Amino acid sequence: MKAFIVDRYSKKDPMRLGDMPEPELRDDDVLIEVHAAGLNVLDSKIKSGEFKLILPYRMPLVLGHDVAGVVTRIGSLVRQFNVGDEVYSRVPDRRIGTFAQFIAVNENDVAPKPGNLTMEEAASIPLVGLTVWQALVERAHLQRGQKIFIQAGSGGVGTFAIQLARHIGATVATTTSSANTGLVKSLGADLVVDYKKDDFEKVLQDYDVVLHSQDAAALQKSLRVLKPGGALISISGPPDPAFAKAIGAPWFVSLIVRLLSAGVRKKAARRDLKYSFLFMLANGHQLREITRLIEAGAIRPVIDRVFPFESANEALAYIEAGRAKGKVVVKVK
């Protein structure tokens, strides 16, 4: 099968379009013919080697975490899907590879594709959707009437998070540029801070939850906009000891993680705040819940650009530039 291949960790080297063996189908797997694949900053970080201590991969490697496509074969133990089903998935970390014509995925990590979405729209959803679900619903237990600050509201995670928080009934604040104010307000943002003109720390106060996705400076400021008992959930680091334990990290990685997050954890504790790092996990059941929200019209995909499969390197470079509004997708079939 055709795939975009990474031969070694590198920021500069492009992915190589070449041939790879079709994925091995396990008894509880479905084989998906990839129609579209979503791109994420995570793909770029893995390619550059940023996660090689936490997620070591064997080379050659095919990147890609998001997929929408059609089931072409099923394992002997599969009960939830049949050949011909239209599905989507955020594939597990150890089995990434959606920048290819086929991907094998455990059936428990797959969900039926929302009937009201195209393949390209569906491929834009899984990673950001599950990230937001696990942050807001599982981790923060966001409730109606609470206040949440979502950083970078016009990005892939931000556009989804604003909609889910609004659906829950929370008051939503976000940051973006003036050019994207209309977009984030249309998604449900109540208060929009233009990060080019204003400092969110001086505008926001007494928030219940912050979804942090930016740099260390924004992390420190975020502590100061939360009220006592509030929760700061970061998807951009630093990782915390609970994360290291969850992934079964070796002792030296656990020690590094503990040291990296020591400062923010101490500052959070002094302010009676909860700090946690979220590295989302594949979950077909949660994706089915997201499907229901999409089909009910509560959440809609936001896509910046769709690239042809042959232009996957250009699509990844576009993601790395950091200016995408919503998601970027490659159309494979």
Domain co-membership, 111 together with 147? no
Domain co-membership, 67 together with 10? yes
Residue at 63 is within a domain: yes
pLDDT in tens, 19-29: 999 999 999 99
Domain co-membership, 120 together with 136? no
Query: Which residues of the chain are under the pLDDT cut of 50?
Result: none
Residue at 101 is within a domain: yes
Domain co-membership, 100 together with 17? yes
Domain co-membership, 75 together with 137? no
Q: Which of 269, 271, 190, 194 is nearest to 227 (CA)?
A: 271
Domain co-membership, 154 together with 270? yes
Q: Which domain holds residue 132?
A: 128-277
Domain co-membership, 206 together with 325? no
Q: 56 burial class (0-12, 13-18, 19+ CB within 10 angstroms)? A: exposed
Q: 102 burial class (0-12, 13-18, 19+ CB within 10 angstroms)? A: buried
Query: What pLDDT was estimated at residue 119?
Result: 98
Residue at 183 is within a domain: yes
Where does a domain end: 277, 292, 314? Answer: 277
- Report CA torsion sign: 88, 89, 90, 94: negative
Please give the Cα distance from 31 to 108 (Å, whole number): 13
Query: What pLDDT was estimated at residue 247?
Result: 84
pTM for the structure as a whole: 0.97
Domain co-membership, 138 together with 226? yes
Residue at 70 is within a domain: yes
Residue at 293 is within a domain: no
User: Beta strands 327-331 and 303-308: pairing type?
Assistant: parallel
Residue at 290 is within a domain: no
Count of domains forming the chain: 2
Residue at 287 is within a domain: no
Instruction: Give the CATH number of the domain where residue 200 resides.
Output: 3.40.50.720
Cβ atoms of 322 and 183 within 8 Å: the answer is no
Domain co-membership, 136 together with 107? no
Residue at 292 is within a domain: no
Please give the Cα distance from 52 to 46 (Å, whole number): 7
Query: What pLDDT was estimated at residue 53?
Result: 85
Domain co-membership, 65 together with 143? no
Domain co-membership, 149 together with 136? yes
Instruction: Give the CATH number of the domain where residue 88 resides.
Output: 3.90.180.10
Domain co-membership, 305 together with 236? no
Cβ atoms of 4 and 16 within 8 Å: the answer is yes
